[in-house]
């Protein structure tokens, strides 16, 4: 299975070096709602070394997070779809906008964070781990590993 994805207009394409779709989580925080223009973002945490462009050139947008870290967004310079970002607080990790994966229809989120900002019509299953704000790192890693499910 080839794990690939790309932007809305098709100018930028990427590949993830993995045998299967990466585990994803949903973030319902206000920043994610604003940035996606939607109810939540669906994201995958992978090693930065696993992701590479296969066509096009990513535009880079850098911003400071509320905690003072530097976030570096890779997006399509033409249609401005956000594809992934890195963060100086988590070196070596890439956060992929999982909706840009070609096989996004097969993703099943393993965790939900910032559910205190969740839109009320979204119902998260009782067996899916969720946290009102950010999850403690150790618990989050276990949740994404699927060992709770």
Kindly give the residue spans of alpha helices, DSSP state H, lying in 3-136: 30-36
Helix (H, G, I), strand (E, B) or coil at 8: coil
Give the contacts of 3 (CB within 8 A, at least 6 positions apart). Answer: 15, 16, 17, 18, 20, 21, 22, 101, 103
Rg value, the chain, Cα: 15
Among 52, 57, 69, 79, binds Zn ion (CB under 5 A): 79
Residue 73: φ, ψ to 5°: -95, 130
Please identify which residue in 3, 16, 32, 143 interacts with Zn ion, judged by CB under 5 A. Answer: 32
If one asks whether residue 57 binds Zn ion (CB under 5 A), the answer comes out as: no
Which range in 10-18, 85-93, 100-108, 126-134 contacts Zn ion by CB under 5 A? 10-18
User: Does 83 help bind Zn ion (rule: CB under 5 A)?
Assistant: no
Q: Interface with Zn ion by CB under 5 A: which range of 59-67, 79-87, 116-124, 129-137?
A: 79-87
Work out which of 16, 21, 27, 51 binds Zn ion, going by CB under 5 A.
27
Should residue 9 be labelled a site residue for Zn ion when binding is judged by CB under 5 A? yes
Among 78, 99, 124, 142, binds Zn ion (CB under 5 A): 78
Phi and psi at residue 97, to the nearest 5°: -75, 100
Kindly list the residues in this chain that would bind Zn ion in the complex (CB under 5 A): 7, 9, 11, 27, 29, 32, 76, 78-79
């Amino acid at each position: 299975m080839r794990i690939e994805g790309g932007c809305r207009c098709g100018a930028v394409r990427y590949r993830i070096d993995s045998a299967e779709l990466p585990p994803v989580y949903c973030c319902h925080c206000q920043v994610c709602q604003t940035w996606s223009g939607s109810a939540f973002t669906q994201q995958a945490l992978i090693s930065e070394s696993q992701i590479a462009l296969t066509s096009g050139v990513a535009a880079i947008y850098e911003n400071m997070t509320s905690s003072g870290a530097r976030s570096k967004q890779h997006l399509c310079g033409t249609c401005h779809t956000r594809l992934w970002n890195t963060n100086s607080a988590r070196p070596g990790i890439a956060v992929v906008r999982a909706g840009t994966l070609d096989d996004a229809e097969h993703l099943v989120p393993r965790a939900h964070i910032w559910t205190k900002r969740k839109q009320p019509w979204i119902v998260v299953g009782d067996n899916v781990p969720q946290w009102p704000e950010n999850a403690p790192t150790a618990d989050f890693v276990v949740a994404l590993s699927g060992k709770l499910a």
